[in-house]
Amino acid sequence: MPRKPGKNRSGRRSKGRRRSRGALPLSVPVLAAALAGTLAVTGAGTALAMEKTVSLDANGEEAMVRTFGSTVQDVLDSAGVELGEHDVVAPSTDTTVSGGDHVVVRSPRELTVDLDGHARAHRVHAATLGEALHQIGLDPAGVELSQEHDTPVPEDGLTVSAERAPRMVVMYDTVRSETRTNGGTVSAVLDAAGVEVGEHDIVTPDPHAPAETDMVVRVTPALGEPETEEVVIEAETVERENPDLPEGETEVITEPEDGLKEITTLLVLRHGEEVEHELSEEIVTEPVEGLVEIGTKAEEDDTATPPQGGGEAGGLNWAGLAECESGGNPTAVNSAGGYYGLYQFSTSTWASVGGSGLPSEASPAEQTQRAQQLYDTVGGHWQSQWPHCGVHLFD
């Protein structure tokens, strides 16, 4: 009685399982004799049919099948597998096979996926949950499942719950890719989006950084190799006032010394345009700041009019007196007579008005102040002190 499609002899669907053909396998002597007889018939030393071994995966059950046939159908027949009405086989049954080929048989199964609280039934031809996900268009990396991917899908079906993985965005310059993944790092996000990063491409955040929901990963493509150049750091010079240095004079305290730094740049694609991106800057030698002191000390004008005192004496022409007595020289010394300075003080007279040391060693201002004090001390009788030049006090 002929077999019905998709049924074995007991009337049950084989579901791609191996079964016996009812014939016993030939013993080695009988097989050898059969081959010898075939060779004698051909007369050319070539067998009409050679036994080959083919791998058969029938709904996840794998076996090595020996057959003298030449097609996929012959492999199925040799394995005792009868296809059901809705079974699928790859390659097709009329495909020629060779030793080492692989044949896959899948029977229909029902897979129910409760995705984010919405259950939906699917008819799949898959041996495992992982195979089934691809068939229903669900990215395995984009969902978190209640079962492992290698979970078998039994004949009576399988129900699993699933939650969509967090949503991520990858911007490869201006190209946007959206993906979902449970991966824990930025690198996993890139893999899920199918973005391959070059050796020198700039990824932000760093590929090893943790992934976060709704994060945006930016990839700036490199257009060449990084380049490093040395750049001079010009040293600055600071000026500082020095009250002990005469005004108008300068003194270099520290000579400025330029520094050196290394800048590494990379040509990248940014917003569709080629631009130079600075990767790093490293100081090789620090610059040394220069220091210059600027003098602010005012020079004393020995020829200037001596400061005037107060009262009646302050209003007199002391410059005229000084010009007559000493030629206006505050350091003048008349060694013959023992008189010193602008107003030709004797040491005893100088001491009487509070002076110390020699009058010619005192400042012009002090000499004038002591002379005015002397004028007041003698009650304005200048003739006793400057008998010849005193008259110029009233010029």
CB 38 within 8 A of CB 100: no
> pLDDT digit string (tens) for 231-270?
999 999 999 999 988 988 899 999 999 999 999 999 999 9
Question: What is the rounded average pLDDT of the residues 286-308?
Answer: 74
Is pLDDT at 204 greater than 50 in this prediction? yes
Contacts of 353 (CB under 8 A, 6+ apart): 370, 373, 374, 377
Concatenate the DSSP letters of all residues of 90-131 into one string: ES-TT-B--TT-EEEEE--EEEEEEETTEEEEEEE--SBHHH
pTM for this prediction? 0.44
With vertex at residue 114, the alpha carbon angle to CA 111 and CA 117, rounded to the nearest 5 degrees, is 165
* Cα–Cα dist 395/393, whole Å: 6
pLDDT at 115: 84
pLDDT at 297: 86
Kindly state the DSSP code that residue 12 receives in the 8-state scheme: S
Is pLDDT at 284 greater than 90 in this prediction? yes
Question: Sheet harboring 61-67: ordered strands across?
Answer: 61-67, 52-58, 102-106, 88-90
266: phi then psi, degrees, rounded to nearest 5: -145, 135
Question: Distance of CA 83 to CAs 79, 90, 255, Å?
Answer: 12, 12, 95
* Cα–Cα dist 206/197, whole Å: 12
Question: What is the rounded average pLDDT of the residues 146-168?
Answer: 89
Is pLDDT at 21 greater than 50 in this prediction? no
CB 280 within 8 A of CB 264: yes
* Cα–Cα dist 344/207, whole Å: 93
Is pLDDT at 19 greater than 60 in this prediction? no
Token pair listed for 19: 């079964």
The confidence band for 36, taking pLDDT boundaries of 50, 70 and 90, is very low
> pLDDT digit string (tens) for 345-356?
999 999 999 999
> pLDDT digit string (tens) for 159-185?
999 888 888 999 999 999 999 888 899
Is pLDDT at 98 greater than 60 in this prediction? yes
260: phi then psi, degrees, rounded to nearest 5: -145, 135
pLDDT more than 70, % of the chain: 85
Contacts of 277 (CB under 8 A, 6+ apart): 202, 220, 265, 266, 267, 268, 270
Mean pLDDT of the chain: 83
Give the residue, 97 or 19, on which the prediction is more confident.
97
pLDDT at 380: 87
